[in-house]
Structure 1
Amino acid sequence: MSKVAVITGAGAGVGRAVAEKFAREGYSVALLSRNEARLQHTASEFREQYSVKTLAIAVDVANAQQVADAASQTERELGPVDVWVNVAMATVFSPVSGLEPAEVERATQVTYLGQVYGMMAALRHMRIRNRGSIINVGSALSHRSVPLQAAYCGAKSAIRGFTDSLRSELIHDGLSIQLTMVDLPAVNTPQFDWARNKMHRKARPVAPVFQPEVAARAVWFAATHKRREVWVGFSTVKAILANRIAPGLADRYLARAGYNGQITNQRLSPDAPDNLFESPDGHWEADGRFNNEAKSSSWQMFTERHRNTLWAVTALGVAGLLWRRRK
């Protein structure tokens, strides 16, 4: 019997890339997202390409009961859930002065509560078996917020706080359930074409940009190795460490560069898609419109995957230097 993975936000972007990675590895996959037509298309595609069982479940992750029901349906139709990956997110490109309370609430419900409800639903089943992996897809922006995405950055930061609390509880209860946070850099996904944008110009990811398959490989690595956190891309490492060392300097830098780094000079069409409250129609892929600049690999992830070997080589090298000095 194949292992089972549940992925939220699986209709497009990073979620779709993650779902495809698990399908390629032979997992049965449950695809959770709001747009049923897109999910059914994706599920059919994975069945044909990878000969795996798939289950498309239309879910709004901001609804706790829908998420819980999806977990139960997956267990009934595919089997025990081995891996649960929380990916679904929503954002608004706008200064705080331009935000409406309903927009902040919705972005928080999807991005933060969606992951909370996913963790809770997965745990109800995993605790019984005392096994499983829960992967929360975070962001460099959960450590270092940027202007124009306050609702998203706040929600991602909240995920990190909830995850750390839960991890301590799992240790206290002696449970063998792995909980990992995967913090991503800027990724080339459709979110920059369909996220609510009040800036009147098209949005873009802050360079450097990575392909969603890089994120998918990082999530796969997190699900198959015991790691507390996985930082993807050197840009993520720099953002996290810079904010720890000199947060005030980072504030001033982003005040200067944070706007133009996220907004292009291209005018935004008045009829551009907006996925904050409703899922846009059509078939959207994992990647967005930035293929010409997106990186398909990350050397930093190579070092993360092979960190034990690198530490061993480093230790041997240091030992060798000390031995030569003694001579």
Structure 2
Amino acid sequence: MSVTPTPQTVVITGASAGIGRAIARLYGARGARVVLIARGRAGLDAAAREVASLGGTPLVQVADTADAGQVEAAADAGERAFGPVDVWINCAFTSVFAPFDEITAEEYDRVTHVTYLGFVNGTRTALKRMLPRDHGTIVQVGSALGERSIPLQSAYCGAKHAVNGFTSSLRTELLHRGSRVRVTVAQMPAVNTPQFSWVLSRLPRHPQPVPPIYQPEVAARGVVHAADHPGRKQYYIGATTLATIWANRLAPALLDRYLARTGFDSQQTDLRPPSGESNLFEPVDGAEGSDHGAHGIFDDMAHARSLEAVLARHPAAVAGALTLAFAATAKAALSRRGRVPCG
């Protein structure tokens, strides 16, 4: 007699929009029980409707991840409703687009508290529940900018670097314990999310992700794959992420000069800067009907697929294909030398 598998219990921070929203949809389609955490009620309620319509069971928790107590309360509510957490995904963040000397101390603190310490709070809360059970997976939604900083995003880049650092330290501690709790990082490329329309910006023109740009669904598929296969230290989503990281390792000084020359214009469109309120200190979807969804305003520029991400999800197939290709190439080369009979 077949046994119906128990649905996963998944917690997603930053679930009201962007990548977090796209991740919630994927887990909804799996029939998962999804705890949705963010500050904005309108976006969370819309995400919950999507999860339910796809076959999942949502639970909305309005919380600021910069507040450890609020994160704990949300996790308690999730486990009371759904039972033990299987997967915890840290995705909430905020940012400021401006030269470093134009960012106030209060603004810098806020970005750091959400984009770095929010991940610390989420990870601590998850481990409090997972370690005694010796079960669970934590996925940090990182960024290529966590390994290669760019101009105009010093607060965000610093926070993402910090996420990489503390996660690496935690991973070694889990290995020392022999724990079966897993933690991995999914490093993101430029993604078409609503953040570029609600971020605090002091740029003369509307901010944009540095092209090439990917749709949130590409990022979400990478995160869910990382959660399903957490044995790897990190995953690079999008070819540009991998290219950026390797360029920084091979020629960092050259990349510094390149970004100094191109990094300002490549992060701005020809549009006027956003005229609405930013979401740095307060959510911008508080008004009725002000849900922003997963996508930003760059649909016409964004790629819905990433070959590199597909290959990363199927390493065995890739290795097999490369082995066959290498064998065929070697055989052909030897045949040309007269060492292997053809036919």
Normalising by the residue count of structure 1, what TM-score does the alignment of the two structures yield?
Answer: 0.96
CA distance in 2, matches of 1:85, 1:45: 18
**Residues 84-123 of structure 1 mapped to structure 2, 5 A cutoff:** 84-123=88-127
- Cross-structure match for 2:3: none
Matched, 1:125 2:132: no
Matched, 1:224 2:228: yes
Q: Which amino acid aligns with 1:35?
A: G
CA distance in 2, matches of 1:155, 1:134: 18
* Cα pair 2:37 2:61 within 8 Å, conserved: yes
CA distance in 1, matches of 2:303, 2:328: 37
CA distance in 1, matches of 2:116, 2:316: 32
CA distance in 2, matches of 1:273, 1:232: 31
Q: Which amino acid aligns with 1:260?
A: D
Q: Which amino acid aligns with 1:50?
A: L
**Structure 1 residue corresponding to 2:33, chosen from 4, 28, 32:** 28
SS of the residue 1:235 aligns to = helix
Kindly state the Cα deviation for residue 246 of structure 1 after the two structures are TM-superposed: 0.4
Matched, 1:197 2:206: no
Kindly state the Cα deviation for residue 309 of structure 1 after the two structures are TM-superposed: 2.1
Q: Single out whichever of 85-94 and 67-76 deviates more from structure 2.
A: 67-76
Kindly state the Cα deviation for residue 227 of structure 1 after the two structures are TM-superposed: 2.2
* Cα pair 1:19 1:29 within 8 Å, conserved: yes
Kindly state the Cα deviation for residue 302 of structure 1 after the two structures are TM-superposed: 1.4
Kindly state the Cα deviation for residue 323 of structure 1 after the two structures are TM-superposed: 6.4
CA distance in 2, matches of 1:37, 1:317: 52
CA distance in 1, matches of 2:47, 2:310: 29
- Cross-structure match for 1:235: 240
SS of the residue 1:88 aligns to = coil
Percent of aligned positions that are identical: 44
CA distance in 2, matches of 1:266, 1:45: 31
Pairwise CA RMSD: 1.4
**Residues 238-317 of structure 1 mapped to structure 2, 5 A cutoff:** 238-269=243-274, 271-281=275-285, 282-317=290-325
Unaligned stretches of 5+ in structure 1? Answer: none
CA distance in 1, matches of 2:244, 2:43: 34
SS of the residue 1:279 aligns to = coil
**Residues 131-170 of structure 1 mapped to structure 2, 5 A cutoff:** 131-170=135-174
Matched, 1:39 2:27: no
CA distance in 2, matches of 1:200, 1:318: 52
SS of the residue 1:261 aligns to = helix
Q: Cα deviation per residue 1:56-92 (whole Å; 9 max; x = unaligned)?
A: 0001000011111211111111111111000001110
Q: Which amino acid aligns with 1:290?
A: F
Q: Which amino acid aligns with 1:26?
A: G
Kindly state the Cα deviation for residue 218 of structure 1 after the two structures are TM-superposed: 0.4
Q: Cα deviation per residue 1:138-185 (whole Å; 9 max; x = unaligned)?
A: 001011100000000000000000010001111110111121100000
Q: Which amino acid aligns with 1:245?
A: L
**Structure 1 residue corresponding to 2:190, chosen from 164, 173, 186:** 186
SS of the residue 2:302 aligns to = coil
Kindly state the Cα deviation for residue 268 of structure 1 after the two structures are TM-superposed: 1.8
Q: Single out whichever of 310-319 and 56-65 deviates more from structure 2.
A: 310-319
CA distance in 2, matches of 1:130, 1:11: 30
Q: Cα deviation per residue 1:186-213 (whole Å; 9 max; x = unaligned)?
A: 0000000000001132111100000000
* Cα pair 2:189 2:240 within 8 Å, conserved: yes
Normalising by the residue count of structure 2, what TM-score does the alignment of the two structures yield?
Answer: 0.92
Number of corresponding residues: 325
Kindly state the Cα deviation for residue 322 of structure 1 after the two structures are TM-superposed: 5.2
Q: Which amino acid aligns with 2:10?
A: A
Q: Which amino acid aligns with 1:315?
A: T
- Cross-structure match for 1:78: 82
- Cross-structure match for 1:208: 212
* Cα pair 1:53 1:78 within 8 Å, conserved: no
CA distance in 1, matches of 2:191, 2:277: 19
**Structure 2 residue corresponding to 1:53, chosen from 44, 52, 57:** 57
Q: Which amino acid aligns with 2:21?
A: R
CA distance in 1, matches of 2:310, 2:201: 35
SS of the residue 1:266 aligns to = coil
Q: Single out whichever of 89-98 and 304-313 deviates more from structure 2.
A: 304-313
* Cα pair 2:27 2:51 within 8 Å, conserved: no
CA distance in 2, matches of 1:185, 1:123: 27
